[in-house]
Amino acid sequence: MDERFKLDNQLCFRLYTASRLLTQAYHPLLSEHGLTYPQYLVLMVLWERDAQPVNDIAKRLLLETNTVTPLLKRMEAEGILTRTQGKKDARQMIVKLTKKGRDLQQKLTAVPETVGRAVLCKSVTPETVPGLFGMLDDIIQNLKD
């Protein structure tokens, strides 16, 4: 057998599996608040800086606008955020957290630490995480280009 086609030799499989399992780790922590992992990502973007255009949110999440828009519509229906037309450009939708959306940050304060602890192991320690971030950022940037 050609070694290039063995599953154990595929970086993509390890990244996919780690991503899937990491998302599963978030599920019980977020579902009790009625959130999905993609909704949590949107919240994190808006907690950093509220009142952003849809395009900026999509760029920050490395997603297409047409992927983010249905997600934002569901979050708006749940009272987590509002979408309003921009004042300078009516074609631009500005996304802003509601009180419920802002309050979720306080309710979810334990999530980053809880998931962070779940990831730690003999090769991933608090000291090695910054290097791991750097490697993953390099991979992401290379694939974007």
99 belongs to a structural domain: yes
Question: Which CATH number characterizes residue 93's domain?
Answer: 1.10.10.10
Sign, CA dihedral 85-86-90-92, equals: negative
Tell me how far the alpha carbon of residue 45 is from its chain's centroid: 8
Percent of the chain with pLDDT over 90: 92
Total count of domains within the chain: 1
Is residue 142 scored above 80 in pLDDT? yes
Per the listing, tokens 């070694």 go with 3
Residues 68-116: tens digit of each pLDDT: 999 999 999 999 999 998 777 767 899 999 999 999 999 999 999 999 9
* For range 30-40, the mean pLDDT: 97
45 belongs to a structural domain: yes
State the pLDDT at residue 86: 79
State the pLDDT at residue 49: 97
pTM, full prediction: 0.91
Percent of the chain with pLDDT over 70: 99
Helix ranges restricted to H, the chain: 11-31, 37-48, 54-60, 65-77, 99-107, 111-119, 129-144
- Rounded CA gap, 107 and 125, in Å? 26
132 belongs to a structural domain: no
- Domain of 59 in residue numbering reads as 35-104
119 belongs to a structural domain: no
134 belongs to a structural domain: no
88 belongs to a structural domain: yes
137 belongs to a structural domain: no
